[in-house]
């Protein structure tokens, strides 16, 4: 059974959104989206958790949302809220391998210094 989110989310649209708006969205938004993306691809994650992830990623890539992404400073605030809410729901499935993949990709795009901004988010995941 497909949901409206399944129809809006595709891997290609996810990467296109990150390519187009990643720098503007910022390190925390991109890292959270990458964590969810790699969690979605993990074969050990149950279907209900994948549904939560697809919903959040569909909201992230959707060009029409509560606060348009083109609005300076606050444009990705609602996206981050949706991504963090989903991350909190599926955090138990975020393992070291998923974190490593997300951090590696993030460092490729933003540089290794960007990883310092992630300490607070990573601490919440490890609890």
Higher pLDDT, 20 or 52: 52
Would you call 127 helix, strand, or coil by DSSP? coil
Residue 26: name the closest of 82, 75, 88, 66 by CA: 75
Dihedral sign computed on CA atoms, order 45, 46, 49, 51: positive
- pTM of the full predicted structure? 0.83
Q: Mean pLDDT over residues 5-30, rounded?
A: 83
The structural domain count of the chain equals 1
Q: Mean pLDDT over residues 53-57, rounded?
A: 94
Q: Tens digit of pLDDT for each residue in 26-47?
A: 888 899 999 999 999 999 999 9
Q: What is the structure's pLDDT at 79?
A: 80
Structural tokens at position 84: 């963090």
Q: How far apart are CA 98 and CA 34, in angstroms?
A: 9
Q: Tens digit of pLDDT for each residue in 68-118?
A: 544 444 566 778 888 989 999 999 999 999 999 999 999 999 988 888 888
Residue 126 has pLDDT above 80, yes or no: no
Residue 59, domain extent: 4-126
Which run of H or of E encompasses 71?
none
């Amino acid at each position: 059974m497909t949901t409206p989110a399944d129809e809006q989310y595709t891997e290609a649209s996810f990467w296109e959104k990150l390519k187009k708006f990643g720098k503007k969205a910022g390190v925390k938004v991109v890292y959270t989206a990458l964590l969810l993306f790699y969690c979605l691809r993990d074969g050990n994650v149950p279907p209900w958790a994948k549904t939560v992830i697809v919903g959040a990623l569909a909201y992230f890539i959707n060009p029409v949302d509560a606060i348009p992404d083109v609005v300076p400073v606050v444009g990705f605030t609602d996206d981050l809220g949706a991504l963090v809410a989903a991350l909190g729901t599926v955090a138990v499935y975020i393992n070291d391998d998923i974190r490593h993949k997300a951090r590696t990709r993030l460092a490729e795009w933003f540089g290794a210094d960007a990883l310092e901004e992630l300490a607070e988010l990573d601490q919440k995941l490890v609890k």
